[in-house]
C-alpha cells in the first residue's frame, strides 16, 4: 500500500539515518533503561534438570534468535544459585544476543510480553529493563530490529570464531525516536498487524516448500524402488523396508559390487592450497558431487591415486552429531582430476559398472539408506558409520538400460519441482526484505503509519 509522509522533516545529523520527522528526539539507549547480565559460569550439568526448588526456567539463545517476541513454549531449565537473583527476567524486558557465530544474529532483540515466574536469561545474552514510561517496549523492539540499527550493531562486533558485541557499544547506541508514547504505541500496533500478514504469507510459502520436497522425495523413492511401470510382476526383495521390487531387478549388499575407502586425514597445514579437495559439506549438501569445489589440499600423486574421485563413485558422510545425518550420499557424475576427499567420508567404487551414476545420485539419497543405518547404529556422543555397516547396505540393481530410463525420468520430474521450490524460496526472501524495509521505514519516520493503524 502507499504511505504518506510526516508534515515536516529535519536533518538527523546522522549520515545513515538521513532526515527524520521534525519532532523526533535523539537519545542513547542507556538513558532509556538499564542492562543486566545473563547467567555465566554454567556447565552442562546445570541445564535440562528435572524440576526441583533450585531449578528454574531460562530463555535459550534460539528463543531470542528466532522470535520477535519471546515464545513461552521454547524454554529451558537451569540450576540457579541464591546469588543469581539479579538475572531474573520480567515482563517488558528486552533481550539482546551479545555473541554469535555470524553477524545475522548479533545484537538481535526480542521482547518478553508476559509475566514469568522466576525465569532467567542465558549467558550469550543481555537483558534491558526499560525505565518506567521512558519508551514503549514494543516500539523499542521494532526500532532495534529495523535494518538501520541492525547494520549499526554489525559494525560494533568483534571476534574470530565467535563475534561478540561489547556492552558499552550497545548502551551507547544512538536512537532517534517518536516523541510521544502514544505515537510509539500506534506505530508498534500497526507493525504488529502488518508484519503478521507478511509472516502469514511467509508461513504459507514455507509449507509449500515442505510439501514440494516431500513430493520430490516420494517421486524419487517410488521410481528407484518400484520402477516406472506399475503393471510389471513384483517379487519380495527380502528386505523389510524395501518390500516388493520388480521381478527383473536384483538386490545385493554393497560389499559384493564394490570396494570402500575412508578419506584422507592430515594436519591443518595440509589444507588451504593445492589441488581439489572434497569436504564433508560437498557431500552432505548435494546428491550430485559438485564439479568445482572450494576445498584445496596439498596432495601428492600417491594421495591422488589412493583417494581419487572418479565417475560413478559414491561418497557417504561417516560422522555426525545426529544419526539422521549419517550416510548422506553424493555421486560423482564426472571425474575430478587430481582430487582427494575428506577423512570424515567414505568412498564406494564399483568393481564393474552395474550402477548408472545418474541412477545412483537418486537411489542413495532416497532416505532408505538412512533408515538402514539408523537400525544398525548406536548413537553415543557422535554417530559414526564404519565400513562394516556400510558394506551391508542393500542395493537394488535394475537392468542398466532401465536405470538410465529411470534417471532421465527423475531428471525431468525433479527439475520441475526444483523450479517451484526456487520460486517459493525467492518469494520468501522478497517478503522478508519487505518486512524489514517496512519496519525500518515506520520506526524511523520515513513513512507515516498513524492513520493506517
Do the two domains 9-179 and 250-397 of this chain adopt the same fold? yes
- Judged against a pLDDT cut of 50, whether residue 160 lies above it is answered with no
Tell me, what DSSP letter sits at residue 31? G
Residues paired with residue 77 on neighbouring β-strands, in sequence order? 57
Tell me what percent of the residues of the chain surpass a pLDDT of 70. Answer: 85
- 1-5, 302-306, 312-316: range with lowest mean pLDDT: 1-5
Question: CA geometry: angle at 70 spanning 49 and 92, to 5°?
Answer: 110
What is the Cα–Cα distance from 150 to 140, expressed in whole angstroms? 13
Whose cell is 550402477? That residue is: 355
Which pairs count as long-range contacts for 402-407, CB under 8 Å and 24+ apart, including other chains?
Answer: 402/227, 402/248, 403/355, 403/356, 403/358, 403/359, 404/356, 404/358, 404/359, 405/228, 406/223, 406/224, 406/227, 406/228, 406/359, 406/362, 407/356, 407/358, 407/359, 407/361, 407/362
pTM confidence score: 0.81
Tell me what percent of the residues of the chain surpass a pLDDT of 90. Answer: 56
Query: Given this model, what pLDDT does residue 45 score?
Result: 54
More confident residue, 432 or 104: 432
- Judged against a pLDDT cut of 90, whether residue 321 lies above it is answered with no
Query: Given this model, what pLDDT does residue 243 score?
Result: 87
- Judged against a pLDDT cut of 70, whether residue 222 lies above it is answered with yes
Query: Given this model, what pLDDT does residue 85 score?
Result: 66
More confident residue, 102 or 333: 333
The DSSP-derived string for 324-363 is GGTT-EEE-SS--TT-EEBTTEEEEEESS--S-HHHHHHH
- Strands 271-278 and 296-297 come out as antiparallel
> What integer best gives the mean pLDDT of the chain?
86
- 33-37, 200-204, 285-289, 325-329: range with lowest mean pLDDT: 325-329
Query: Given this model, what pLDDT does residue 381 score?
Result: 42
Query: Given this model, what pLDDT does residue 81 score?
Result: 64
Going by C-alpha positions, the residue among 446, 444, 441, 445 that lies closest to residue 194 is 441
Query: Given this model, what pLDDT does residue 228 score?
Result: 96
What is the Cα–Cα distance from 176 to 12, expressed in whole angstroms? 8
Query: Given this model, what pLDDT does residue 159 score?
Result: 47
What is the Cα–Cα distance from 59 to 75, expressed in whole angstroms? 5
More confident residue, 362 or 44: 362
Gap between the terminal Cα atoms of the chain: 13
- 106-120, 410-424, 426-440: range with lowest mean pLDDT: 106-120
User: What's the grid cell of residue 427?
Assistant: 518469494
User: What's the grid cell of residue 369?
Assistant: 539408506
108 burial level (CB within 10 Å; 0-12, 13-18, 19+): buried
Query: Given this model, what pLDDT does residue 129 score?
Result: 92
What is the Cα–Cα distance from 255 to 375, expressed in whole angstroms? 18
User: What's the grid cell of residue 58?
Assistant: 531460562
- 108-122, 210-224, 324-338: range with lowest mean pLDDT: 108-122
Query: Given this model, what pLDDT does residue 63 score?
Result: 87
Query: Given this model, what pLDDT does residue 36 score?
Result: 83
Query: Given this model, what pLDDT does residue 210 score?
Result: 97
Q: Name the architecture of domain 250-397.
A: Alpha-Beta Complex (3.90)
Domain 9-179 has CATH 3.90.220.20: yes
Confidence of residue 8 (pLDDT cuts 50, 70, 90): very high
Confidence of residue 380 (pLDDT cuts 50, 70, 90): very low
Within its chain, how far is the Cα of 133 from the centroid?
A: 38
Confidence of residue 154 (pLDDT cuts 50, 70, 90): low
- Judged against a pLDDT cut of 60, whether residue 24 lies above it is answered with yes
Query: Given this model, what pLDDT does residue 60 score?
Result: 81
- 50-54, 372-376, 397-401: range with lowest mean pLDDT: 50-54
Query: Given this model, what pLDDT does residue 100 score?
Result: 60
User: What's the grid cell of residue 90?
Assistant: 520480567
Exposure b/e, 239-265, CB count within 10 A at least 16 = b: eeebeebbeebeeeebbebbebbbbbe
- Judged against a pLDDT cut of 60, whether residue 404 lies above it is answered with yes
Confidence of residue 152 (pLDDT cuts 50, 70, 90): low
Residues 6+ apart with CB under 8 A from 411: 358
Helix (H) or strand (E) segment spanning residue 142: helix 137-145
Query: Given this model, what pLDDT does residue 164 score?
Result: 66
Query: Given this model, what pLDDT does residue 379 score?
Result: 45
Confidence of residue 324 (pLDDT cuts 50, 70, 90): low
Domain residue limits, the chain: 9-179, 250-397
What is the Cα–Cα distance from 309 to 296, expressed in whole angstroms? 14
Within its chain, how far is the Cα of 360 from the centroid?
A: 27
- 71-75, 154-158, 416-420: range with lowest mean pLDDT: 154-158
Phi, psi of 265 (to 5 degrees): -125, 120
- Judged against a pLDDT cut of 70, whether residue 130 lies above it is answered with yes
Question: Does residue 54 contact residue 46 with C-beta atoms inside 8 Å?
Answer: no
pLDDT per position as a tens digit, 237-272: 988 888 899 999 999 999 999 999 999 999 889 999
Confidence of residue 431 (pLDDT cuts 50, 70, 90): very high
- 86-100, 168-182, 414-428: range with lowest mean pLDDT: 86-100
Q: Average of pLDDT values for 142-153?
A: 74
The DSSP-derived string for 365-389 is TSSHHHHHHHHH---SSSEE--HHH
Residues making up the chain, counted from first to last: 453
What is the Cα–Cα distance from 190 to 185, expressed in whole angstroms? 9
Residues 6+ apart with CB under 8 A from 282: 289, 290, 293, 295, 330
Confidence of residue 156 (pLDDT cuts 50, 70, 90): low
- Judged against a pLDDT cut of 50, whether residue 426 lies above it is answered with yes
Question: Does residue 447 contact residue 437 with C-beta atoms inside 8 Å?
Answer: no
CB atoms within 10 A of CB 190: 18
- Judged against a pLDDT cut of 50, whether residue 437 lies above it is answered with yes
Query: Given this model, what pLDDT does residue 223 score?
Result: 96
Amino acid at each position: 500500500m502507499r504511505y504518506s509522509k510526516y508534515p515536516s522533516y529535519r536533518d538527523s545529523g546522522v549520515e545513515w539515518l538521513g532526515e527524520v520527522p521534525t519532532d523526533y528526539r535523539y537519545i542513547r539507549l542507556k538513558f532509556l533503561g538499564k542492562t543486566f547480565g545473563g547467567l555465566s559460569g554454567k556447565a552442562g550439568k546445570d541445564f535440562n534438570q528435572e524440576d526441583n526448588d533450585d531449578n528454574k526456567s531460562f530463555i535459550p539463545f534460539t528463543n531470542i534468535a528466532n522470535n520477535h517476541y519471546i515464545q513461552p513454549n521454547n524454554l529451558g531449565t537451569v540450576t540457579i544459585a541464591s546469588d543469581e537473583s539479579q538475572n531474573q527476567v520480567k515482563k517488558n524486558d528486552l533481550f539482546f544476543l551479545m555473541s554469535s557465530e555470524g553477524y545475522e544474529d548479533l545484537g538481535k532483540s526480542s521482547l518478553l510480553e508476559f509475566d514469568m515466574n522466576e525465569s532467567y536469561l542465558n549467558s550469550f545474552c543481555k537483558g534491558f529493563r526499560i525505565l518506567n514510561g521512558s519508551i514503549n517496549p514494543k516500539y523499542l523492539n521494532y526500532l532495534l530490529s529495523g535494518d538501520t540499527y541492525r547494520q549499526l550493531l554489525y559494525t560494533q562486533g568483534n571476534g574470530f570464531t565467535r563475534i561478540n558485541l561489547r556492552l558499552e557499544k550497545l548502551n551507547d547506541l544512538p536512537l532517534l525516536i517518536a516523541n510521544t508514547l502514544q505515537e510509539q504505541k500506534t506505530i508498534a500496533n500497526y507493525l504488529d498487524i502488518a508484519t503478521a500478514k507478511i509472516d502469514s504469507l511467509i508461513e504459507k510459502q514455507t509449507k509449500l516448500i515442505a510439501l514440494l520436497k516431500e513430493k520430490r522425495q516420494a517421486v524419487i523413492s517410488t521410481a528407484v524402488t518400484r520402477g516406472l511401470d506399475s503393471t510389471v510382476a513384483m517379487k519380495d526383495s527380502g528386505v523389510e523396508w524395501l518390500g516388493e521390487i520388480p521381478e527383473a531387478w536384483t538386490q545385493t549388499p554393497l560389499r559384493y559390487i564394490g570396494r570402500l575407502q575412508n578419506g584422507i586425514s592430515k594436519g591443518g597445514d595440509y589444507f588451504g592450497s593445492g589441488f581439489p579437495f572434497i569436504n564433508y559439506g560437498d557431500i552432505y549438501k548435494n546428491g550430485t558431487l559438485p564439479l568445482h569445489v572450494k576445498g584445496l589440499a596439498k596432495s601428492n600423486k600417491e594421495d591422488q591415486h589412493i583417494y581419487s574421485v572418479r565417475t560413478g563413485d559414491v561418497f557417504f558422510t561417516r560422522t555426525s552429531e545426529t544419526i539422521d545425518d549419517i550416510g548422506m550420499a553424493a555421486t560423482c557424475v564426472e571425474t575430478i582430476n587430481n582430487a582427494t576427499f575428506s577423512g570424515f567420508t567414505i568412498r564406494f567404487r564399483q568393481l564393474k559398472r552395474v550402477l548408472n551414476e545418474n541412477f545412483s545420485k537418486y537411489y542413495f539419497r532416497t532416505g532408505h539408506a538412512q533408515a538402514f543405518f539408523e537400525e544398525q547404529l548406536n548413537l553415543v556422543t557422535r554417530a559414526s558409520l564404519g565400513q562394516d555397516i556400510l558394506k551391508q547396505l542393500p542395493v537394488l540393481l535394475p537392468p542398466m538400460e532401465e536405470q538410465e530410463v529411470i534417471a532421465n525420468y527423475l531428471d525431468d520430474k525433479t527439475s520441475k519441482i526444483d523450479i517451484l521450490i526456487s520460486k517459493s524460496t525467492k518469494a520468501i526472501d522478497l517478503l522478508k526484505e519487505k518486512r524489514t524495509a517496512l519496519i525500518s521505514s515506520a520506526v524511523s519516520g520515513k513513512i507515516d503509519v498513524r492513520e493506517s493503524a
